[in-house]
Amino acid sequence: MAPDKSQFRYEPAPPIPTYDEAIASGAGSHTVFEAPHSPLDATDHTEGHSLLGGTASSSSNNDQPRPPRGYRPPTVETDDEGEPWGSDDDSDSEADHVRREMQEMEIDDSSHRSQSSWGKRIGRFSLPRWKWGWRLPQISLPRFRRHDANASLESATTPATNNDTNNSNNQEQPSSGSRFAFPTLGSTALFLMVARILALILLLGFVYLIFVYDVFGNMSRRLGSGMFNPSDIRDYLQNNISANQIKDNVQHFTSYSHVAGTEGDYALMEDIELLFRKYGLEDISRDTYHVYLNYPKADGRAVEIIDDKAGNGKGKAVWSAKLEENDRSTGLIGHQTLAFHGHSKTGDVRGRLIYANYGSRADFQRIKDLGIKTDGAIALVRYYGPQADRALKVKAAELAGFAGCLIYSDPADDGFTKGDTAPKGPFMPADGVQRGSVSLMSWVIGDVLTPGWGSKDGVPRMKKEQTKGLVKIPSLPLAWRDAKVLLQHLKGKGHRVPDDWVGGVPEVDEWWTGDHESSPIVRLKNDQDEKEKQAIWNVYGSILGIEQEEKKVIIGNHRDAWTLGAADPHSGTAIMLELARVFGELMAMGWRPLRTIQFMSWDAEEYNLIGSTEFVEQNDDMLRKDALAYINLDTAVTGNTLHVAGSPVFKGLLMQVLDLVRDPYENATLKELWERRNANDLEGLGAGSDYVAFQDIVGTSSIDLHFDGKGHPYHSSYDTFEWMEQVGDPDFVHHTMLGQVVAIILYELADRPVLPFDMPHYAEKIRDWTGEITRWVEDQAKAAKKDAVPKELKTSLESLKKASDAVLEAVRWFVEWEHEWQASVVSTGGWEPSGWGRRRCEFNTKMGSFESDLLDSEGIPNRTQFKHVLFGPQLWSGYNEAYFPSIRDTVESGDWALANRTIAKVADIIKLAAVNLARGTLGEDQIG
- Among 692, 719, 747, the domain boundary falls at 747
Residue 113 domain-assigned (yes or no): no
Separation of alpha carbons 679 and 642, rounded Å: 10
- Tell me whether strands 436-437 and 341-342 are parallel, antiparallel or unpaired: parallel
47-61, 209-223, 879-893, range with the lowest pLDDT: 47-61
CA–CA–CA angle 886, 889, 894 (5° rounding): 130
pLDDT tens-digit readout, 226-236: 568 899 999 99
Which pLDDT score, from 0 to 100, does residue 927 have?
47
Which pLDDT score, from 0 to 100, does residue 163 have?
43
757 pLDDT higher than 90: yes
Which pLDDT score, from 0 to 100, does residue 761 have?
97
523 and 430 assigned to the same domain: yes
Separation of alpha carbons 605 and 923, rounded Å: 44
729 and 854 assigned to the same domain: no
Q: In the chain, pLDDT over 90 holds for what percent of residues? A: 66
Residues of the chain by 3-state class (helix, strand, coil), percent to 5: 40, 15, 45
Which pLDDT score, from 0 to 100, does residue 67 have?
39
Residue 133 domain-assigned (yes or no): no
Residue 120 domain-assigned (yes or no): no
634 and 733 assigned to the same domain: yes
Q: What sign does the dihedral 846-848-854-858 (CA atoms) show? A: negative
CATH of the domain at 321: 3.50.30.30
The 3 state secondary structure assigned to 298-347 is: EEEEEEEEECCCCCCCCCCEEEECCCCCCCCCCCCECCCCCCCEECCCCE
854 and 729 assigned to the same domain: no
The pLDDT confidence band at residue 329, using thresholds 50, 70 and 90, is confident
Residue 296 domain-assigned (yes or no): no
Can you say whether residue 470 is alpha, beta or left, with left for phi > 0 and alpha for psi between -120 and 50 degrees?
beta
Which pLDDT score, from 0 to 100, does residue 227 have?
66
684 and 630 assigned to the same domain: yes
105 pLDDT higher than 90: no
Region 581-606: mean pLDDT is 97
Of 39 and 897, the one with more pLDDT: 897
Is 926 within 8 Å of 809 (Cβ atoms)? yes
CATH of the domain at 803: 1.20.930.40
Task: Say which residues have a Cβ less than 8 Å from residue 121's Cβ, sequence separation at least 6.
Answer: 135, 136, 226, 228, 229, 230
310 and 352 assigned to the same domain: yes
Region 812-816: mean pLDDT is 93
pLDDT tens-digit readout, 541-562: 999 999 999 999 999 999 999 9
43-52, 262-271, 390-399, range with the lowest pLDDT: 43-52
704 and 773 assigned to the same domain: no
688 and 783 assigned to the same domain: no
From residue 615, alpha-carbon distances to 261, 607, 618, 717 in Å are 16, 15, 5, 30
The pLDDT confidence band at residue 313, using thresholds 50, 70 and 90, is low
Which pLDDT score, from 0 to 100, does residue 207 have?
74
Amino acid letter for position 244: N
* pLDDT, the chain, mean: 82
CATH of the domain at 639: 3.40.630.10
Which pLDDT score, from 0 to 100, does residue 79 have?
38
Residue 110 domain-assigned (yes or no): no
Region 453-467: mean pLDDT is 94
Q: How far is CA 175 from the centre of its chain?
A: 76
What residues make up the domain containing 500? 301-326+341-463+470-529
616 and 478 assigned to the same domain: no
Region 498-522: mean pLDDT is 96
From residue 417, alpha-carbon distances to 424, 425, 638, 715, 805 in Å are 14, 12, 19, 20, 49
Residue 232 domain-assigned (yes or no): no
Q: Name which of 831, 227, 909, 294 is nearest 604 in CA terms.
A: 294
131 pLDDT higher than 50: no
738 and 644 assigned to the same domain: yes
The pLDDT confidence band at residue 623, using thresholds 50, 70 and 90, is very high
pLDDT tens-digit readout, 512-539: 999 999 999 999 999 999 999 999 999 9
Separation of alpha carbons 601 and 269, rounded Å: 8
Residue 594 domain-assigned (yes or no): yes
Amino acid letter for position 378: I
91 pLDDT higher than 80: no
The pLDDT confidence band at residue 69, using thresholds 50, 70 and 90, is very low
CB atoms within 10 A of CB 622: 13
Is 869 within 8 Å of 855 (Cβ atoms)? yes
87-101, 396-410, 447-461, 738-752, range with the lowest pLDDT: 87-101
760 pLDDT higher than 80: yes
- Among 747, 777, 810, the domain boundary falls at 747
Which pLDDT score, from 0 to 100, does residue 314 have?
78
Which alpha helices (DSSP H) does 527-669 contain, by range?
A: 570-588, 605-608, 610-618, 620-626, 651-658
Whole-model pTM: value is: 0.78
Region 697-713: mean pLDDT is 96
833 pLDDT higher than 50: yes
Which pLDDT score, from 0 to 100, does residue 321 have?
98
The pLDDT confidence band at residue 309, using thresholds 50, 70 and 90, is confident
Which pLDDT score, from 0 to 100, does residue 146 have?
34
492 and 414 assigned to the same domain: yes
281 and 351 assigned to the same domain: no
224 pLDDT higher than 70: no
28 pLDDT higher than 80: no
- Among 694, 718, 747, the domain boundary falls at 747
Residue 34 domain-assigned (yes or no): yes
Domain count, the chain: 4
Which pLDDT score, from 0 to 100, does residue 467 have?
96
DSSP state of 855: B
169-183, 313-327, 858-872, range with the lowest pLDDT: 169-183
